[in-house]
Structure 1
Amino acid sequence: MRLLFTVGGSQAAVFGVAPLAAAARNAGHEILLAADEPLMAAAQSVGLPAVCITPERMRYGQDAMTAAVRLDALLELTRHWAPDLVVGGLSHVPRVLAARLKVPYVRHIWHIAPMARRDRTAVAELQPELERLNVTELPAPDLFIDLCPPSLRPPDAPAGRAMRWVPRVRQSRIEPWMYTRPEGRRRVLVTAGTRNLVLDTPGSSLRRLVDELTGTGAEVLIAALPEAAERFGPELGDVRIGWIPLDVAAPTCDLAVHHGGATTAMTLINAGVPQLIVPDNGYGKAVAEAVSGFGAAVMVDRHRPEAGQDPDEVIAAGCREVLSDPRYAERARALAAEAAALPTPAEVLREVEALAAR
């Protein structure tokens, strides 16, 4: 059968859908990934056949602004390559497409942030496109696949099919230091994902954090874009900075400091790594609140510091707390065990196949 996967937003959306898409391909199905131009390189890096539908990146909450262009591009694609099923994510545009094509629709997301209100607004804003395409109603998804461990799901999350997160990120040449722990030292990983060059840019705060961590005797890895390594590497001292495959390095770490991105957080959860999260937006804050609420992380909100407190010192103190208190590592391992017990993409694929065969 033919499965059309659609993503928009950041590279995290590509990495999130890649395991199910790969499972479908390994099972002998034809797949295509419809994405925006800025995501083409990420799709190619994880081996997904990708088709560009728009030149600019779609952002969650902008369905109404880009719906007509995206729908027309998807309809043109499906005129030549007719899918038996459509898989979408945060955007509801693929849901409209599936209704127009009269094929099953699967929503595939990491439901950790409350989104019911935003979903209702997005669906209402798509009404003009429904009328233009003569779609009388927008049915609920035939299957909702949720990558979020049950313990982290928000109270208003809809019933869904839980699926195990399988890390899938862009790789680079693997060196032994990436998969081995340093002898006699703890290891701390710092990353801001791919949205920013480094955590809390510019680099002054990063230098202070690095000094604090190395002062405790820890080895510091900074997973960052190549341009960040070129810009900040010379001033950061004895650290490894650059593109580091997170899925390879994470199991060797005692702590990870990051921005709250979905791919970053779930890869660390998968590896059982305690976290300190400095959210850079509302979604990252929801991630931080969920993981810290479970006891596997500390959240530091730089945008709302307490009176008289130095935000940089709060971050450093949080790192010291996580490294010194074994309860964070224990909770992180418990969360990893919960995630590992969820159905694999290959198992969930059977339900997807059953939908398309109806």
Structure 2
Amino acid sequence: MRILFLAGGSPATVFGLAPLATAARNAGHQVFMAATSEMMPVVNGAGLPGISVTPHSIRDFMTTGRQGEPLQWPADPQDHILFIGRGFGRMAADSLPALIELGRAWKPDVLVGGMLCFAAPLAAARLGIPYVRHAWDTGEPPEVDGAAESVMGPELAAAGLTRLPGHDLYIDICPPSLRPAGAPEALPMRFVPGNGQRELEPWMYTRPSRPRVLVTAGSRVSRHQYFDYVRGLAEKVSALGTELLVAVPDEVAGEVAAGLPDVRAGWMPLDVVTPTCDLVVHHAGGGTALAAMNAGVPQLLIPNMPKLVAPSLRLVEYGAALMAEDGEDSRDTVVALCEKILGDPSYRERSRELAREIRDMPLPAQTVGALEGLVA
């Protein structure tokens, strides 16, 4: 069987699909993963054959309209969510021709698309094959789907449709206790953490003698993106006096850590490092949040995008995290919230319960059979 996976424009979207794609390859199936050109090194680094379906980055689709007009990020939180949906819709429209061309040449039996990869259902419909929607975190706002449709009129019309086609199967990696109300029926699958790797050092996999706190804003931090956010967060958390890890690309590690005491900064594999930590403080990104849940480590969430607030609140309500909303993350507040989590064992206990729940979900290897069933 041939299975075509479609990821998005960030490493998290690749690593979200890689466990199932790898399991399918290990089961003897042929697997390709399509994504943006920028993501090809990430796809190949995950050990998967990759094919680019657009030379543009996700940033291009968030800053430029379909007619080439410049776009501005809206300030209103709800408008921000719809804006993101339209950006993913533009990426889908740009990717669709190459995706269909690839499908006609390679003839896959099933197409598995990441949660916001809206080219996947259209391409599957045009190719006459089953479409599987694959979540890559604990939930995306449902309004995003309609926003994507609103900019894909020509592509929908070419397929004789007015709406995006539905899925034949939905695979969800969100722990059942954190699924939002009204979530669609889904096949649950265990989350398996994934990230770029490097040669390990002993401190990465051994617990220190005192509390260790990890700070990160994801893998896309650069001098022009999220730098001030993660530097500011590291400064605030450093006031705790614990050992501090700051997970950022090596290119900015020196600047992020400058002047901070007892800090290690740089690229570190979260799947290895997170289990040695007592707390993860981060931007509420889905992949980072799931990595901490999987390791049974409590979290302090400071969402840097409005769409991340809802899944963060569900984690807070479960008792495995606390959250500081945008504008309410002063140093004193961050320190107080960190101290509350570190001083109250219930946050660790609830986090470990989530980890056990994740471990009880079906493995990707067990999920491959559902793909085989669709084709059979």
- Taking structure 2 as the reference length, the TM-score comes to 0.87
User: Separation in 2 of the partners of 1:281 and 1:3?
Assistant: 33
**2:163 is the counterpart of 1:144:** no
Secondary structure at the counterpart of residue 181 of structure 1: coil
Which of residues 228, 231, 235 in structure 2 aligns to 1:207? 235
- Cα distance, 1:57 vs structure 2: 2.3
Deviations 1:237-296 (A, max 9, x none): 321110110000111111110101111110110000000011100232223212111100
Which runs of 5 or more residues in structure 1 are unaligned? none
Task: Summarize the alignment of residues 35-114 of structure 1 with structure 2, pairs less than 5 Å apart.
Answer: 35-58=35-58, 60-61=84-85, 62-89=87-114, 90-110=116-136, 112-113=138-139
Name the CA shift for 1:6/1:327 in 2 (closer, same or farther; >3 Å): same
Name the CA shift for 1:202/1:278 in 2 (closer, same or farther; >3 Å): closer
CA contact (8 A) 1:111 1:153 kept: no
User: Separation in 1 of the partners of 2:207 and 2:319?
Assistant: 24
1:261 aligned residue: 285
- Cα distance, 1:136 vs structure 2: 8.2
CA contact (8 A) 1:163 1:342 kept: yes
- The amino acid across from 1:349 in the alignment is V
Q: How many residues of Structure 1 are paired with residues of Structure 2 in the alignment?
A: 347
1:19 aligned residue: 19
- The amino acid across from 1:344 in the alignment is L
CA contact (8 A) 2:298 2:341 kept: yes
Name the CA shift for 1:171/1:69 in 2 (closer, same or farther; >3 Å): same
- Cα distance, 1:137 vs structure 2: 7.2
2:76 aligned residue: none
Name the CA shift for 1:122/1:254 in 2 (closer, same or farther; >3 Å): same
CA contact (8 A) 1:260 1:283 kept: no
Which of residues 253, 266, 271 in structure 2 aligns to 1:242? 266
User: Separation in 1 of the partners of 2:366 and 2:130?
Assistant: 18
- Cα distance, 1:135 vs structure 2: 5.7
Secondary structure at the counterpart of residue 149 of structure 2: helix
Name the CA shift for 1:230/1:2 in 2 (closer, same or farther; >3 Å): same
User: Separation in 1 of the partners of 2:282 and 2:232?
Assistant: 16
Which of residues 190, 195, 216 in structure 2 aligns to 1:169? 195
Which runs of 5 or more residues in structure 2 are unaligned? 62-83
CA-atom RMSD, angstroms? 2.0
CA contact (8 A) 1:112 1:286 kept: no
Percentage of identical aligned residues: 46
- Taking structure 1 as the reference length, the TM-score comes to 0.91
Which of residues 211, 220, 223 in structure 2 aligns to 1:186? 211
CA contact (8 A) 2:89 2:118 kept: no
- The amino acid across from 1:243 in the alignment is W
CA contact (8 A) 1:106 1:145 kept: yes
- Cα distance, 1:230 vs structure 2: 2.6
1:281 aligned residue: 305
2:65 aligned residue: none
Name the CA shift for 1:101/1:241 in 2 (closer, same or farther; >3 Å): same
